[in-house]
């Protein structure tokens, strides 16, 4: 900036004013400054700017693990929205480890980010945010959370899954659910069971097996369900990963999907089109999730003073080939 000032023969302050539009500057001077900036290929230093302003154009994002196929599109959603508003993304993988997450959270703050987007680990009790940049919680929102958040209508999704199976004539249905300490897992089951109740169908507890959202547990849980008598004609798996385990289990049991047993899954990840059969699944708008969270955060950053808000995004039933009419 100093060089620019001398080159344009103005003071440092004027250069700053031109750059930030923080005070009107005579046209001649402005032109000279802009020219000098261009000549010198000047780019403002984010660090000193942040230091002075007490805020950078960084958005910190903490997620469990980018290798989990659910998160890339969430991240991309955030980045796209952030990029539009000239913010950059500082990405952290916390591995569902509360310690790592808190460490990251603290560390992030000393970059003076404009805001933070957090997908909390399963058992994180977040201290309600005190000072510091605004935080938006996403996907799974801890019980005590008082700030902004964006979530998916998990219960409605579970409900829709059940309705679909019921409509297709299924009555004896098994569930491979997610871990009971995870809100989203809980909600999906709740919705599902509600829909069954509404249709006067019952489901006894042993027909609800608890897995870990991963392929492995999907496999074993499904195996257990297949041994029940009467054998369910359909299974609701609470994640796509578990659904792939279910498919494997069905195959291993010399059964066929959907001929012998139908599956409705949850997530709607890209690869569900590629399995055999392609999976009917409750699609979560993952990109939108990130995009929306970022928008909310930006509003907050820009000082909008609405009360803490929870945006809930709808799921969508994607019908493919894993459910058969009975």
Partner DNA sequence: TTGTAGGCGTTATCAG
Partner DNA sequence: CTGATAACGCCTACAA
Binding site for a copy of itself (CB under 8 A): 43-48, 50-51, 56, 58, 65-67, 69, 71-73, 75-76, 79-80, 88-93, 106-107, 109-112, 244, 247, 270-271, 274-276
The option from DNA, a copy of itself, none interacting with 206 (CB < 5 to 8 A, set by class) reads none
The option from a copy of itself, DNA, none interacting with 176 (CB < 5 to 8 A, set by class) reads none
Comparison of 43 and 302: residue with beta carbon closer to DNA: 43
**Listing from the earlier edge strand, what are the strands of the sheet with 208-210?**
208-210, 173-177, 234-237, 262-267, 280-283, 316-318
Distance of closest approach, residue 75 Cβ to a copy of itself, in angstroms:
6
Q: Among residues 293, 297, 269, which one has the least CA distance to residue 283?
A: 269
Q: According to CB under 7 A, which residues from 8 to 67 bind DNA?
A: 10-14, 16-17, 19-20, 22-26, 28-30, 42-45, 48-49, 51-54
Q: CA 322, CA 143: separation in Å to the nearest integer?
A: 35
Comparison of 5 and 112: residue with beta carbon closer to a copy of itself: 112
> CB burial class (10 A; 0-12, 13-18, 19+) of residue 72?
middle
The option from DNA, a copy of itself, none interacting with 111 (CB < 5 to 8 A, set by class) reads a copy of itself
> Is it true that the peptide bond before 230 is cis, omega within 30 degrees of 0?
yes
- The tokens of 50 are what? 């942040």
Q: Among residues 33, 51, 31, which one has the least CA distance to residue 42?
A: 33
Distance of closest approach, residue 40 Cβ to DNA, in angstroms:
10
Comparison of 189 and 323: residue with beta carbon closer to a copy of itself: 323
The option from DNA, a copy of itself, none interacting with 270 (CB < 5 to 8 A, set by class) reads a copy of itself
CA angle, corner 249, sides to 245 and 254, nearest 5? 150
Stretch that binds DNA, among 5-13, 152-160, 166-174, 297-305 (CB under 7 A): 5-13
Sort strands 316-318 and 280-283 into parallel, antiparallel or unpaired: antiparallel
Torsion-angle region of 308 (φ positive above 0: left; ψ -120 to 50: alpha; else: beta): beta
- The tokens of 197 are what? 């109740």
Distance of closest approach, residue 28 Cβ to DNA, in angstroms:
7
The option from DNA, a copy of itself, none interacting with 132 (CB < 5 to 8 A, set by class) reads none
Comparison of 9 and 38: residue with beta carbon closer to a copy of itself: 38
Beta bridge partners of 263: 235
Distance of closest approach, residue 110 Cβ to a copy of itself, in angstroms:
5
Task: Name residues whose C-beta falls within 8 Å of residue 250's C-beta, 6 or more positions apart in sequence.
Answer: 222, 226, 256, 257, 260, 261, 263
Comparison of 110 and 227: residue with beta carbon closer to a copy of itself: 110
Q: Which residues bind DNA (CB under 7 A)?
A: 1-2, 10-14, 16-17, 19-20, 22-26, 28-30, 42-45, 48-49, 51-54
């Amino acid at each position: 900036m100093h060089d620019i000032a001398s080159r344009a023969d103005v003071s440092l302050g004027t250069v700053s004013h031109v750059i930030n539009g923080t005070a009107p500057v005579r046209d001649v001077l402005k032109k000279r400054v802009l020219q000098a900036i261009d000549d010198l290929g000047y780019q403002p230093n984010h660090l000193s700017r942040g230091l002075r302003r007490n805020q950078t154009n960084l958005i910190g994002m903490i997620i469990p693990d980018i290798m989990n196929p659910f998160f890339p599109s969430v991240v991309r959603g955030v980045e796209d929205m952030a990029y539009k508003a000239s913010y950059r993304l500082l990405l952290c993988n916390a591995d569902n480890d509360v310690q790592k997450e808190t460490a990251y959270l603290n560390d992030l703050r000393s970059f003076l980010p404009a805001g933070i987007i957090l997908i909390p680990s399963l058992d994180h009790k977040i201290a309600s945010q005190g000072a510091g940049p605004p935080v938006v919680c996403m996907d799974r929102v801890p019980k005590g959370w008082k700030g902004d958040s964006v979530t998916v209508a998990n219960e409605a999704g579970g409900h829709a899954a059940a309705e679909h199976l019921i409509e297709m004539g299924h009555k004896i249905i098994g569930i491979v659910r997610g871990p009971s300490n995870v809100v989203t897992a809980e909600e999906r089951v709740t919705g599902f069971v509600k829909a069954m109740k509404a249709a006067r169908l019952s489901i006894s507890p042993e027909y609800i097996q608890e897995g870990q959202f991963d392929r492995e547990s999907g496999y074993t849980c499904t195996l257990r369900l297949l041994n029940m008598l009467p054998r369910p004609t359909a299974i609701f798996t609470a994640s796509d990963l578990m659904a792939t385990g279910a498919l494997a289990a069905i195959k291993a049991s010399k059964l066929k999907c959907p001929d012998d047993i139908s599956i409705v899954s949850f997530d709607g990840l890209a690869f569900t089109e590629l399995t055999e059969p392609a999976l009917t699944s409750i699609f979560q708008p993952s990109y939108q999730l990130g995009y929306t969270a970022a928008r909310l955060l930006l509003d907050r950053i820009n000082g909008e003073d609405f009360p803490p808000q929870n945006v809930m995004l709808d799921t969508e039933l994607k019908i493919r080939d894993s459910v058969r009419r009975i």
